[in-house]
A and B are shown apart, each in its own frame.
Chain A
Amino acid sequence: MEQSKIITIKNLVKKFPVGKGFFIALNGINTGFEQGEFAGLVGPSGSGKTTLLNIIGSLDSPSEGSAEVLGYSVGSLTHKQAAMLRRQHIGFIFQTFNLLPVYTVFENIEFPLLLMNMTATERTKAVHDAIEWVGLGDKIKSRPAMLSGGECQRVAIARAMVKKPEIVLADEPTANLDAENSHHILQTMEKLNKELKTTFIFATHDEKVINYLHRKIQLFDGKIAKDELIKSI
Chain B
Amino acid sequence: MIALKLAYRNLVGAGIRTWLNVFVLSIAYVLIIYFNGLMSGWNREARRDTINWEIANGQYWQKDYDPYDPFSFNDSHSAIPSVFNSKIDEGKIVPILISEATIYPEGRIQSIVLKGISTNQKILKLPTYELNVEIAEIPGIIGKRFSKNTNLKKDDLVTVRWRDANGTFDAAEIRIISVFNCNVPTVDNGQIWIPLDDLQKMKQMPDEATILVNGDELKVNSEIVGWVYKDIEFLVMDITKIIKTKRIGSSFFYIIILALAMLAIFDTQVLSIFKRQKEIGTYVAMGMTRKQVVTLFTVEGAFHAVLAAIVGAIYGIPILAYVAKIGFKIPEGSDDMGLAMADVIYPFFSLMLIVSTIILVFLITTIVSYLPARKISKMEPTDAIKGKIQ
Contacts and interface: CB of A to CB of B under 8 A. Distances in A.
Interface string B367-390: 000000000000011100100000
Interface string B252-294: 0000000000000000000000000011011011111111100
B225 interface: no
Contacts of B14: 102
Given A59-B381, A59-B382, A94-B385, A101 B286 contact: no
Interface in A58-83: 59-60, 79-80, 83
Contact of A102 (B10, B282, B288): B10
B289 A80 contact: yes
Given A59-B381, A114-B2, A100 B287 contact: no
Contacts of A112: 286-287
A92 interface: yes
Nearest to B293: A83
A83 B9 CA distance: 23
B382 A115 contact: no
B287 A94 contact: no
A30 interface: no
A87 interface: yes
Nearest to A84: B287
B286 A102 contact: no
Nearest to A80: B289
Contacts of B281: 98
Interface residues on A, range: 20 to 34
A79 B290 contact: yes
Contacts of B381: 59-60
Contacts of B385: 59, 94, 98
Given A79-B290, A115-B2, A102 B285 contact: no
B285 A100 contact: no
Contacts of B107: none
Contacts of A33: none
A144 B385 CA distance: 18
B318 interface: no
B289 A98 contact: no
A48 interface: no
A88 interface: yes
Interface string B1-22: 0100000011011100000000
B143 to A, nearest CB: 66
Nearest to B2: A114
Contacts of A115: 2, 286-288
Contacts of A114: 2
Contacts of B13: 101-102
Given A54-B382, A83-B289, A59 B284 contact: yes
Interface in A84-124: 84-88, 90, 92, 94, 96, 98, 100-103, 107, 111-112, 114-115
Q: Which 8 pairs of residues, A with B, have the shortest CB-CB distance?
A: A87-B287, A102-B13, A86-B287, A98-B282, A83-B289, A92-B285, A114-B2, A59-B381
Interface of A: 50, 54, 57, 59-60, 79-80, 83-88, 90, 92, 94, 96, 98, 100-103, 107, 111-112, 114-115, 159
Given A88-B287, A102-B10, 8 more contacts: A60-B380, A80-B291, A83-B290, A92-B282, A96-B278, A98-B279, A102-B12, A111-B286
